[in-house]
């Protein structure tokens, strides 16, 4: 035997909020549709007509009416869904970021700057965080950090007086003879 689901009376604030969401152009489509369902029923439209007009099932209409009756406008938002748990816990991600922002010399490492490969090795061996270079890169990008792809030769600082010390350079190829005019 079916149970009849009826929409409760809307308060003035709820109606205003629902109308705003139903007309929104930047809100999630699902939320806009759910607000339209509730407003249509509040205006006296039959659930079957609402379902047909919005091209959804009557069961969907009843689901959102029940959720709205129980939780109000907050009931129209998606509930958390189960899924795969996060691979890396927030404390592991924090360690990745902290390590990337720390100078290698402060950790008694002999190189001058980090590369993704060096970070991967250090985190895997020293910190015990099994993480790949691609994931390190994703974490740093999500944090708003830009990664350098190149560094100076073997991590050593470039000598500012190199050009003077090197002296004049010689041409490795002879000059082309000028064409006869």
Domain end call among 43, 76, 109: 76
Domain count, the chain: 2
Q: Are residues 67 and 96 in the same domain?
A: no
Is 151 inside a domain boundary?
A: yes
Positions in the chain whose pLDDT score sits under 50: 1, 150-155
The CA–CA distances, whole Å, from 106 to 99, 123, 129, 156, 159 equal 10, 15, 20, 16, 22
Q: Which residue has the tokens 């002879």?
A: 174
CATH classification at residue 62 = 1.10.10
Instruction: Read off the pTM.
Output: 0.50
Q: Name the residue range of residue 100's domain.
A: 90-157
Q: Are residues 18 and 59 in the same domain?
A: yes
Q: Are residues 60 and 109 in the same domain?
A: no
Cβ(57)–Cβ(51) under 8 Å? yes
Is 85 inside a domain boundary?
A: no
Q: In three state form, how does the secondary structure of 10-75 look?
A: CCHHHHHHHHHHHHCCCCCHHHHHHHHHHHHHHCCCCHHHHHHHHCCCHHHHHHHHHHHHHHHHHH
Beta strands in 62-145 (DSSP E): none
Report the greatest alpha carbon distance in the chain: 105
Is 83 inside a domain boundary?
A: no
Is 166 inside a domain boundary?
A: no
> What is the reported pLDDT for 153?
47
| 18 CB-contact burial (10 Å; exposed 0-12 / middle 13-18 / buried 19+) | buried
Q: Are residues 103 and 125 in the same domain?
A: yes
The CA–CA distances, whole Å, from 125 to 99, 118, 130 equal 13, 11, 8
Is 120 inside a domain boundary?
A: yes
Is 70 inside a domain boundary?
A: yes
Q: Are residues 40 and 66 in the same domain?
A: yes
Q: Are residues 105 and 57 in the same domain?
A: no
Domain end call among 30, 51, 76: 76
For the stretch 70-117, pLDDT in tens is 999 999 999 888 888 888 889 999 999 999 989 999 999 888 888 899
Q: Are residues 53 and 101 in the same domain?
A: no
Is 84 inside a domain boundary?
A: no
Q: How far, in Å, CA of 142 to CA of 86, rounded?
A: 15
Q: How far, in Å, CA of 13 to CA of 90, rounded?
A: 39
Is 163 inside a domain boundary?
A: no
Q: How far, in Å, CA of 67 to CA of 162, rounded?
A: 72
Q: Are residues 105 and 71 in the same domain?
A: no
């Amino acid at each position: 035997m079916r149970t009849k689901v009826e929409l409760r009376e809307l308060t003035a604030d709820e109606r205003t909020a629902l109308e705003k969401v139903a007309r929104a152009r930047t809100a999630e489509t699902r939320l806009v549709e759910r607000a339209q369902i509730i407003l249509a029923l509040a205006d006296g439209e039959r659930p079957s007509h609402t379902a047909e007009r919005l091209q959804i099932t009557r069961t969907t209409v009843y689901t959102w009416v029940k959720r709205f009756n129980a939780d109000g406008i907050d009931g129209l938002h998606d509930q958390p869904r189960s899924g795969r748990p996060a691979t890396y816990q927030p404390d592991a991600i924090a360690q990745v970021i902290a390590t990337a922002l720390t100078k290698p010399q402060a950790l008694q490492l002999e190189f001058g700057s980090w590369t993704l490969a060096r970070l991967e090795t250090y985190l895997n061996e020293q910190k015990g965080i099994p993480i790949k270079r691609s994931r390190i890169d994703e974490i740093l990008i999500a944090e708003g950090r830009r990664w350098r792809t190149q560094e100076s030769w073997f991590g050593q600082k470039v000598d500012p007086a190199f050009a003077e010390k090197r002296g004049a350079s010689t041409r490795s190829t002879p000059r082309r003879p000028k064409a006869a005019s």
